[in-house]
A = this chain, B = another copy of it.
Amino acid sequence: MYLSKFFVPITRNLPTDAKIKSHQLMLRAGMIKQSSAGIYSWLPLGFKIMKKIEQIVREEQNRIGAQEMLMPTIQSADIWKESGRYDDYGEEMLRIKDRQGREMLYGPTNEELVTDIFRSSVKSYKSLPQILYHIQWKFRDEIRPRFGVMRCREFFMKDAYSFDLSDEDAKKSYNKMFYSYIKTFNRLGLKAIPMSADTGPIGGDLSHEFIILADTGESQIYADKKIFEIDFKKYNFDNESLQKMREDFSSIYAVTDEKYNEKMFNERVKKANQIKTKGIEVGHIFYFGDKYSKPLNGLIDSKDGKKIAVKMGSYGIGISRLVGATIEANYNSEVMKWPKSISPFDVVIIPNLSKNNTENLEKAEKIYKDLKKQNIDVLLDDVDENMSNKFKKHDLIGIPYQIILGSKSEKDKFEFKELNSKIEILSLEAIKLKLKKD
């Protein structure tokens, strides 16, 4: 992609209502544009990053055998009345009357709808276990939407639902999803801590939040540093190992202020290991048994012919929110550096351009074609602008690697820079090797 053709409306003016780093960066770098309070359009740069996150989440859901489907955004109020949540949900639910006067709503979550699909399709224990998921827009009518995509009204979310015959089986599904989440966040370049959590309005008795550390987070976090030493790769995919993994994580102190107890923190965590910081929730998983299947009649024929309410869990990851959260975790207010797995491009070529000399641009185009052939996704900054402005701009866009064609380039060697590191002078072959690593 040539930057001059790329629709990235970069702005130098800092919007006054953007209080946190991610919101500021996303507006400045032309990733999003607000269309009304708490509702955003995703411009091509932001969209590309969000799609990469979505794809990693999808791959890791598929890997544990979850099946993708898609539920609509607009739901009938009827099933929410059946479950009893229609009145409970309060004003955050966007309620709608259609032209026939039917009560509808914009789904804030999908426990009811997925239970309805399940009850009409699955009758026998033989079809269990099942995990269904979808990645769909949700709406919560926040009274004070703020912080850009971190607390907006229309947001993009992956929500999965597990169906099992017994509590025991259901916990196996829960463990699989726990593992999948750890792996997903790892692939996204994020260090997420699973924390035992309250279940809130979803209900149930087993729940974990996945929280990444960031100074600007909304929750206060108290944790033992040792939690980062657990390597998920040492566990394998049988339930015993997955159960052990969850226990290993649970055995190390890590709580939000909701569950914080100073005395216990000091007893269980030695001073040198104590982390007190803020965090951002990026995922939340729940086991709630028959809380929805019972009122909604989601019944299964068990082996001995009895009707049993199916045991369910639900598992969310905020995809649009993860774009903001990743920025909060990686942007130091001067330089943004995207994790390689979700960077909008693999590398950017920045030639020093001048009107009378087209040599650098020609060189840049040659390198561009060469990298494209290797399936390296490359941005070429062909905009007529001085180098200092270019560098400032690319500190916002955050592509982790730069090939700079300026005064220091030699005939077949170029300046190569990894953001936040020193410049090296390398041949194109050496650069390709660096880009392909990992």
- Chain A residues engaging chain B, CB cutoff 8 angstroms: 5-7, 9, 30, 33, 35-37, 39-44, 47-48, 50, 65, 67-76, 78, 91-92, 94, 96, 98-100, 102, 104, 106, 113, 116-117, 120-122, 130, 132, 137, 139, 141, 143, 153-154
Contacts and interface: CB of A to CB of B under 8 A. Distances in A.
B116 A35 contact: yes
Given A44-B67, A99-B143, 16 more contacts: A6-B67, A9-B121, A33-B117, A35-B72, A36-B74, A36-B78, A36-B102, A39-B75, A39-B76, A41-B70, A42-B69, A42-B71, A47-B69, A94-B96, A96-B106, A98-B141
B44 A75 contact: no
A33 B121 contact: yes
B94 A69 contact: no
Q: How many copies does the complex hold?
A: 2
Given A41-B70, A69-B41, A76 B7 contact: no
Nearest to A5: B65
B117 A76 contact: no
A34 to B, nearest CB: 10
Contacts of A120: 9, 33
Main secondary structure on A side of the interface with B: mixed
Contacts of A153: 74, 98
A44 B73 contact: no
A198 B7 CA distance: 31
Contact of A121 (B7, B47, B73, B96): B7
Listed from nearest, the 5 A-B pairs whose CB atoms lie closest are A9-B121, A36-B76, A42-B70, A44-B67, A91-B99
A104 B70 contact: no
Nearest to A113: B35
Contacts of A47: 68-70
A39 B74 contact: yes
A5 B36 CA distance: 43
Contacts of A30: 121
A72 B39 contact: yes
A41 B96 contact: no
17 contacts: A6-B67, A7-B69, A7-B121, A9-B120, A9-B121, A35-B113, A35-B116, A36-B74, A36-B75, A36-B102, A37-B102, A39-B74, A41-B71, A43-B121, A44-B69, A98-B141, A99-B143
Given A35-B75, A98-B94, A106-B74, A7 B132 contact: yes
B137 A73 contact: yes
Given A69-B7, A137-B137, A76 B143 contact: no
A372 to B, nearest CB: 14
Contacts of A139: 74
A35 B37 CA distance: 29
